[in-house]
Amino acid sequence: MDGEIVEIGGIVVPSGPALVGMFVGGFLVLLLVFVLLAARFYHRATKEVAFVRTGMGGEKVILDGGCIKLPVFHEIIPVNMRTLRLQVDRKNEEGLITADRMRVDVTAEFYVRVKTSTEAIAKAAQTLGNRTLETQHLKELLQGKFVDALRSVAAGLSMEQLHEQRSDFVQSVQQSVSEDLLKNGLELESVSLTALDQTARQYFKEDNAFDAQGLAKLTQITEAKKEERNRIEQEARILIETKNLEAEKQSLHIKRDEEFARMSQRQEVEVARAQQEAEIAKEQANRRREAEHARIVAEQQVKESNIGANRAVREQEIQAAQQVEQARIHSEQTLEISKQAAAIAVARKSEEKSKAEAEAAVARALMVKQEEEVVTVRETAVATRLKEIQLIKAREEAEQKAIDVTVRATAEREAAKDRADAELTEARAQAERIRLVAEADQKRLEVEAFGEKAINEAKNILSGEIIRFELRKLIAQLAPEVVAASVKPMEKIDSIRIIQANGFGGLGDGSGNAAAGQNGAGATLPNQVVQAALGYRMNLPLVEALLKEVGLETSSVEGLLGGLGSAMRSGEAAEGASPAPEAGPVENASSGAVTTTRATAGDDAGLGS
């Protein structure tokens, strides 16, 4: 039955569902206790931390699983599986000594981790213990190995090689340290040389053999580099100054080119303006010519219209005169007819009146009447014929005048047309001549301007020596003309009479003996001329004094040219003036010689003794 209690061996045990419930409850309690114990004593490994369990059951390395750690029976040593950065600094007095005995400051970073193998983890747990979890403690333990590797590798390289072969240095250090790290279950991922520099001079010890050699080399290198730097700085300064000079020259050349370009542009603008003005003037001339032609054509048309109008008016006047003449003739005929009619009426009245007088008078009256009628008819016919003759003559005269007017108008029109054509042709020729003259003047002015510009530019670049040479050449070219002009007044001298020529000491023997010095009366004319030239050369100071007295300044070219110019002007004035009067005697102040010069136009010149 349900709910019954069974006593078994003195123990009361429920039976049926109650028993099942008890078993289930007990199982659950046991399960809960197991879970709590497992949570309390079960240890798991992670990706970052592995551990080694020792104790009951022996050593067990847990890398990616877990295990039960029972108190008292087991011990767990955690092992850090992460990569650790261990920085080693060797600076100042602790700097590395290189092969060339230089000290270098080095900062190296070693990236290490526990190798992922059970043996390596066991070695790391055995040799390092909990230091893998504390970077500083691990660094203190391994720093000696790192420093030793750095020093051993640096000792085989110079400072320059250490700097230039950083990768080789790092690989050598890595190879040197890797074997020692494997003994601790570690592996070296990489080595980074983050800082490398020469140790400051103040940390070199002069009483240290290595430092003494390093100081000597350092001093040698620094002084050599100072000298090289000074040389480079001086060369750079000279190069900079040279570049500045070249830049200044180029700037001046550019400014000169700009000025030339500006001048060329102004010249082109002026030429274009002149061409435009010439085109405008040409166009204006064409317009004036066209206007003049139109005016001439209009005047010709006006004249032709005036001639036509005058001819029409003349024809109308002739027609009016003919009509007036016809009206007058018709009026005279009508008046004569009316007179005859009146006479007939009077005669009839008289006939009726005198009808009673006498029958005899009838015949006489009739006869008289017939005679009068005959006379009237005759006179009327004569008058009519005269009028027709006059009318024909007037018509002929009018037609002749009209023909004359027409012929004269036609001739005048043709003459006016010919004159207009001639004037138009002359105007065109004049305009073309003006244009050609203007173009020729423009070309001539351009050529002259270009020549003047070239001459001025050539003059501007002449040196002082070239200028003086040109001046001397000009003086040499003008000297013959100047001398010729200066002696031109001497052409008016008729004769020269030398009274005494012993004044110059160089012509004789100095004692005044004319015969001994070939200056006497017996000397020939050529000898006298030669002796006079020699005496002039020997007495040049006296001649210069005389030239100064007459206004010729011989101390400078300008004074001499000025005096020669004055002589030229005086010579030209002497040509246009009357013949010079006879000059009076001139006494030589140095010798007392008296020379009489007579200048008479038209006389033969002679040389007296």
Question: Quick one: average pLDDT of 341-346?
Answer: 71
Residue 355: per-residue pLDDT: 65
Q: Judge if 25 and 73 occupy the same domain.
A: no
User: Per-residue pLDDT for 586 more than 50?
Assistant: no
Weakest mean pLDDT among 46-50, 293-297, 351-355 = 351-355
**For the chain, how many structural domains are there in total?**
4
Structure-block tokens of residue 31? 């399960």
Residue 527: per-residue pLDDT: 67
Q: Judge if 288 and 437 occupy the same domain.
A: yes
Using alpha carbons, select from 178, 101, 167, 98 the residue that is nearest to residue 145.
178
Check if the beta carbon of residue 158 is closer than 8 Å to that of residue 93: no
Weakest mean pLDDT among 2-11, 279-288, 327-336 = 2-11
Question: Quick one: average pLDDT of 66-70?
Answer: 74
Interatomic CA distance for residues 281 and 289, integer angstroms? 12
pLDDT digits (tens, 9 = 90+) for 519-555: 444 456 556 655 665 665 565 665 566 556 555 555 5
Interatomic CA distance for residues 540 and 504, integer angstroms? 11
Check if the beta carbon of residue 346 is closer than 8 Å to that of residue 426: no
Residue 348 lies in a domain: yes
Question: Quick one: average pLDDT of 560-577?
Answer: 51
Weakest mean pLDDT among 451-455, 479-483, 484-488, 549-553 = 549-553
Tell me the three state secondary structure of residue 132: helix
Query: What percentage of residues in the chain have a pLDDT greater than 70?
Result: 67
Only one residue has tokens 């024909």, namely 392
Q: Judge if 432 and 338 occupy the same domain.
A: yes
User: Per-residue pLDDT for 181 more than 70?
Assistant: yes
Task: Return the HEC string of 186-214.
Answer: EEEEEEEEEEEEECCHHHCCCCCHHHHHH
Can you give the CATH number for the domain in which 122 is found? 3.30.479.30
Residue 530 lies in a domain: no
Residue of higher predicted confidence among 554 and 94: 94
Q: Judge if 198 and 314 occupy the same domain.
A: no
pLDDT band of residue 580 (cuts 50, 70, 90) is very low
Q: Judge if 567 and 479 occupy the same domain.
A: yes
User: Per-residue pLDDT for 84 more than 80?
Assistant: yes
Q: Judge if 116 and 53 occupy the same domain.
A: no
Q: Judge if 340 and 406 occupy the same domain.
A: yes
Check if the beta carbon of residue 570 is closer than 8 Å to that of residue 563: no
Residue 587 lies in a domain: yes
User: Per-residue pLDDT for 186 more than 70?
Assistant: yes
Q: Judge if 320 and 378 occupy the same domain.
A: yes
Interatomic CA distance for residues 569 and 485, integer angstroms? 8
Interatomic CA distance for residues 102 and 221, integer angstroms? 11
Residue 221 lies in a domain: no
Q: What is the dihedral of CA 100, 103, 106, 110, to 10 degrees?
A: 60
Weakest mean pLDDT among 68-72, 355-359, 585-589 = 585-589
Q: Judge if 78 and 21 occupy the same domain.
A: no
- Taking the CA atoms of the chain, what radius of gyration do you get in angstroms? 77
Residue of higher predicted confidence among 485 and 29: 29
User: Per-residue pLDDT for 63 more than 70?
Assistant: yes
Residue 260 lies in a domain: no
For residues 360-397, one letter each, b for 16 or more C-beta atoms within 10 angstroms of the residue's C-beta and e for the rest, the string is eeeeebeeebeeeeeeeeeeeeeeeeebeeeeeeeeee
Residue 249 lies in a domain: no
Residue finishing a domain among 414, 431, 453: 453
Q: Judge if 30 and 55 occupy the same domain.
A: yes
Residue of higher predicted confidence among 354 and 506: 354
Q: Judge if 443 and 303 occupy the same domain.
A: yes
Interatomic CA distance for residues 547 and 250, integer angstroms? 56
Q: What is the DSSP letter of 117?
A: S
Structure-block tokens of residue 212? 């003494």
Domain that holds residue 485: 467-504+539-608
Residue 293: per-residue pLDDT: 83
Residue 587: per-residue pLDDT: 39
Question: Quick one: average pLDDT of 395-413?
Answer: 73
Residue 240: per-residue pLDDT: 92
pLDDT digits (tens, 9 = 90+) for 73-82: 777 788 888 8
Question: Quick one: average pLDDT of 574-599?
Answer: 41
Residue 285 lies in a domain: yes
pLDDT band of residue 593 (cuts 50, 70, 90) is very low
Residue of higher predicted confidence among 541 and 447: 447
Mean pLDDT, the chain, as a whole number?
72
Using N-to-C axis directions, what is the helix angle for 209-354 and 359-460, rounded to 10°?
Answer: 170
pLDDT digits (tens, 9 = 90+) for 419-439: 777 777 777 777 777 877 777
Residue finishing a domain among 21, 45, 62: 62
Q: Judge if 46 and 85 occupy the same domain.
A: no
End-to-end CA distance of the chain: 208
Residue finishing a domain among 203, 231, 253: 203
Using alpha carbons, select from 321, 111, 105 the residue that is nearest to residue 202.
105
Question: Quick one: average pLDDT of 119-129?
Answer: 83
Check if the beta carbon of residue 567 is closer than 8 Å to that of residue 485: yes
Judge if pTM exceeds 0.85: no
The letter for the amino acid at 255 is K
Residue 120: per-residue pLDDT: 82
Residue 485 lies in a domain: yes
pLDDT digits (tens, 9 = 90+) for 270-323: 888 888 888 888 888 888 888 888 888 888 888 777 787 777 777 777 777 777
Check if the beta carbon of residue 412 is closer than 8 Å to that of residue 303: yes
Residue 244: per-residue pLDDT: 92
